[in-house]
Structures are given as C-alpha cells and as structure tokens.
Structure 1
Amino acid sequence: MSSYPIHRPDARLWFDRRFRSATATHSLYCFPFAGGSATYYADWVKHCTGPIELVPVQLPGRGGRMAEPSAKDMVQLAEEIAETIAAEPTQVLLYGHSMGAILAFEVTRRLRTLGRPVQHLFVSGRPTPTIVRPPTPVSDLPRPEFIQMLRDYGAADQTVFEHDELLDLLMPMIRADFAMIENYRYRQEPLLSCPISAWCGDADPEVPVAAMRGWGDQTSGEFTLSVLPGGHFFLTEHQAEIMRTVHAAIRRVR
C-alpha cells in the first residue's frame, strides 16, 4: 500500500452520475486514457441496458475537477478510487483504456484487499502491466515534439491542436498523466481471480498483440484477447462490440 497521505474529495466528484440506474445490479466504471476525461465514455450509455449502468470515472485536473492538481502516483490514485467504489452498493466491473487500463488493474487489486472483489476486468490499448510504457519518457518533451506525439496517438480531435489557448489549459494535465505513467512500476502481488477481457487495435504500433497476451498472466481466472481493426483509439469505432462482450460476461456470471 502507498505511504502517501490520502485526501479524498466528495465521492460525487469521482463519477459522472448522469447515467446511474436505480435498477442496475452492476456498475461499469470506465477509466480514461492519458489526457482523457469522463466525457469520452458518455456515448457508451446507449449500449448499457438491463443490469449494467455506465459510470465514467472523472480524474482530478479535468472537467469539473479542473481546479484540482493532477494525480502524481498511480497506486495512490487507485487507493482513493477503490475506497470510493467500495462504498457503492452494486457489483463492480472495471474498464480502462491505455493509462486507464493500468489504473483499472491497480483499482482491482485495491478492491480485493477491501473485500469488494471486481467481477470482471476489461482492458484495452495497453500492454500487460509488467511492460514499461512509454519505453522512453515523453512528459518533458519540448512543446512541438509533445504535441506531435499526441497527434500521432490520435489522442484528441485535430481541431484541438489549432487552439493555443485550449492547449495551454490542457497541457499541464496531459503532461502530468504521462509523467504518472512513466513513474509506474509493476509490483508483484497474488494473481487476480476475476476474468480479464482484453482488446487491442491491429494497427496500433505501441501495443502489439504479443504484449497484450501478458494480461492473461495476471489472473487465475478466464482470459480472452480480441484484436480489432484500428490504431490506438480503435475503441471509438468498436464501442458496441466491446459492450456486447461486457453484457455477455455478465450473463455468464448470472
């Protein structure tokens, strides 16, 4: 466990609650990629039906939490989020893309210690936690090189890069996210027992299929890996297929 002091904001700040359902038995908590916010997942709500409610996670330093400092330590952040999720009444499902995949993984570990095991972990666009990514630091690149790196990732609509004032507002948060990823190091713990489902894009040069297969080594439960057409943000075009897998997983459990 992290030795950092934990200062938890109001639990309502962590989650986009617009899509909560009084009849849901399962909550799908969705964790953003570096520089991303909870709003990225808002469009997924149309695929959440029946027992599953969509709960995008809002990290500090963006959206309604723009005034808060960005997180610096992945494990400490996971501890804070896990404490908040543990107080929720529904069964827990976690989904994370890229940076969010590692955060979801660490939250899964923390929830296990809190006696609130995750029912299923879904990850995409990030090699297994034992592999260091990015391979070389990028958070302190000069502005032009950093922006080009974001363009190459496809991390934002291209129109964002045409507005210097917006970039000035977002850049500290995005750099902080990449610094947090760079400082993350996998720590040996007992295997998870929940199933893990993973996806990657067939044209994502940073996430080869072989590197995604390593997620299977993190659980004693079932592991499935799917390769879909697209680059690093293939999930934008394949959200319906991803959500079908989520619903199928819950039907098997039930």
Structure 2
Amino acid sequence: MTGTGTTGITTGRTDDIWIRAPHPNPGSPVRLVCLPHAGGAASYFFPMSAALAPDVEVLSVQYPGRQDRRHERPVDDLHLLADQLAEALEPWTDRPFALFGHSYGALVGYEVARRLRSAGHHPLALFASGRRAPSTHRDERLHLKPDASLIAELKELDGTVGALLDNEEIVAMIMPALRADYRAVETYVHRPGPGLDIPVTALIGDDDPKVTSQEAARWREHTTSEFSLEIFPGGHFYLADRLMELTSSLKRRLGGATRTPAERVRAVQRTQPAGGLARAL
C-alpha cells in the first residue's frame, strides 16, 4: 500500500530518483533490489530491509507517481517501466545483486532481469512473490472500473489498510498511481525472446486469491536455471505476517548464490555423510 512519506528511507546516491536504501551498508556482500506491488511505494520494504541488514543491503525501488515522486506521471506500460528501471539500475550492479518483486513488482522484476542480462549484467536470482508466471493469463479489467472497485479490491487483499482507504484525501492522492499500475499489469503481454538463466524462486501465500500454486509453478518455464516454489501461510500480503520466515529463506538462498563453485562443493561436503557428495551433486 502506498505510504504518505519517506520516513527512514534515504537514497544511496543523492542524484538517484529511483532507488532508496533504508539501511545503507557499503560492506554488505549482496544487494536485494525490491520492487513494490501495484499502488506500492519504496517504504513498503522498510521492515524487510531492517530484518535483512546487515547481511543483505536492500535497495527499494520508487516508481514514478508516489511519495516523493508523486508529482511525476505514473507509468502505465510495464515494458516501458522495465526499460526505464533497468537503465536506472545499471550503476548499482557494481556488487552482486538479486531482484525481489511482489505481485506487480514480480513481473517488473522479471522484465528488468531480462533487460539487465541482455546488457551484460548478471543478477544472482529472481524472487517472484505473490504473482502468477508471465506465461499465465487471467482476464482482469479492474483498471477500467470505478475507483470504488479498486479500493474494494485493496481492502479485500490487505485488511490492514481499511481505515486509510476510508480517507478521501488519501484515496485521491494514491489513485492515479494505483490505476496506472493496474492498467500496466492487466494489459501486460509476455513478449517472445530470451528467458532467464538465473535461479528463480516463486513465493506465495497459501490463501492468495491472486495466484494458485499451479500458476506460480509455471515460473519454472521462464528460466533455464534452478527453480523452486515456497508456500507460506497467509494471503496476498503474506510477507507482512511471515517476515521472519521469508527473510530467513532469502538470507539462506542469497548466501548460497554468492558462493563460488568451490565453496558450494565444500559446503555440501560438510553436510554429507561419506560417499554422499556424488549423490548431492
């Protein structure tokens, strides 16, 4: 849900309008670029950043049209947004990094990862949270409906925002970005071209009306590397209630992703009984 301020969120570089670093850590071995859901803002990932610090430095993306970018026109084309964001992220690829996108942000993250790979950059992994695979489709047209329909959907998906969405001033402030995001995701069409060659993890809540486990499992079609599916108790915003379990999984997976091949072999050796290494590899 879009916040109304940027308390605790700072830019890692003073001229960067896209990236916020809630807990900057130049010594962190890996960065996690977090992309918000439809209507969401960079501040949504402040709790995740705090939980991952100092092992992982979170870079939270601020889309145009919200919080300190509220006077900019929101982008209502997902491919165009991915073009702009991939270019904005290039200066941040000087350290190992992975991408985490929730809902709308999962598709944005996938398209950004495709563009970064084409430009010669290599994300460690993509974490696609709360979203169907790009190859799946539902005929959804909320972006064409009245504001009340969009607000009703948000209340159904996230019960914690009900009081905020009863405030007319807040609704008026967030509606342009929210409607643009819904238009972008509901009109998105997966384009042919190279998929990913990096590990992809799909993460969902077991009671999420926006994605089934079968739809999430189809993310495996979009990478030639490893794929895994994690299911947490909860709905569309499971990550708010299951933050510790989620961040524990992210730390484990990112720690493995940053190891060299030799280090991965040694790690397996330490955990396998005699003769078990060949089976593990």
- Asked whether the two chains share a fold, i.e. TM above 0.5, the reply is yes
- Please say which of residues 37-46 and 48-57 is displaced more in the overlay: 48-57
Please state if 1:203 is matched with 2:201. no
Amino acid at match of 2:115: R
Aligned identity (percent) is 31
Quote the Cα distance in structure 2 between the aligned partners of 1:196 and 1:169.
35
Query: What's 2:29 paired with?
Result: 25
Once residues 147 and 76 of structure 2 are traced to their aligned partners in structure 1, the CA distance between those partners, rounded to angstroms, is 20
Residue equivalent to 2:221: 217
- Pairing partner for 1:116 from 106, 112, 121: 121
Give the letter for the 2:112 counterpart.
V
Report the secondary structure of 1:221's partner residue: coil
**TM-score normalised per structure 1:** 0.91
Distance 1:18 1:145 in 2: 33
Structure 2 residue matching 1:191: 3-state secondary structure? coil
Root-mean-square deviation (CA, aligned residues, Å) is 1.6
Q: Secondary structure at the match of 2:143?
A: coil
| Aligned position for 2:96 | 91
- Listed one character per residue, the Cα deviations across residues 124-149 of structure 1 (whole Å, up to 9, x for unaligned) are 1110011234x221112123223212
Give the whole-Å Cα distance in 2 for the aligned partners of 1:33 and 1:52. Answer: 21
Which residue number corresponds to residue 85 of structure 2? 81
Partner Cα separation in structure 2 for residue 62 and residue 158 of structure 1: 19
Q: Residue 139 of structure 1 aligns to a residue in which SS? A: helix
In structure 2, what is the equivalent of residue 130 of structure 1?
Answer: 135
Instruction: Give the SS at the match of 1:207.
Output: coil
Instruction: State the SS of the aligned residue for 1:12.
Output: coil
- TM-score normalised per structure 2: 0.83
- 2:198 aligns with 194
Cα distance in structure 1, aligned partners of 2:210 and 2:26:
40
Per-residue displacement from partner, 1:139-167 (whole Å, max 9, x unpaired)? 12123223212211227611112211111
Name 1:164's counterpart in structure 2. Answer: 168
User: Alpha-carbon deviation of 1:168?
Assistant: 1.1
Equivalent position of 2:76 in the other structure: 72
Deviations 1:159-198 (A, max 9, x none): 1122111111111111111011112100122231100111
Whichever residue aligns with residue 107 of structure 1, its letter is V
Shift of 1:242: 1.7
CA distance in 2 between counterparts of 1:22 and 1:205 reads 39
Q: Is the aligned partner of 1:44 residue 2:48?
A: yes
Name stretches of at least 5 consecutive residues in structure 1 with no aligned partner: 1-9
Structure 2: gaps of 5 or more residues: 1-13, 260-281
Distance in 2 separating the partners of 1:105 and 1:185:
13
For 1:231 and 1:219, the matched residues in 2 are separated by 26
Q: Flag the structure with larger Rg.
A: 2
* Cα distance in 2 for residues equivalent to 1:250 and 1:147: 36
Q: Which one is further off, 63-72 or 241-250?
A: 241-250
CA shift in 2, pair 1:49/1:154, >3 Å? closer
Pairing partner for 1:58 from 43, 54, 62:
62
Which consecutive segments of 4 or more residues in structure 1 shift more than 4 A? none
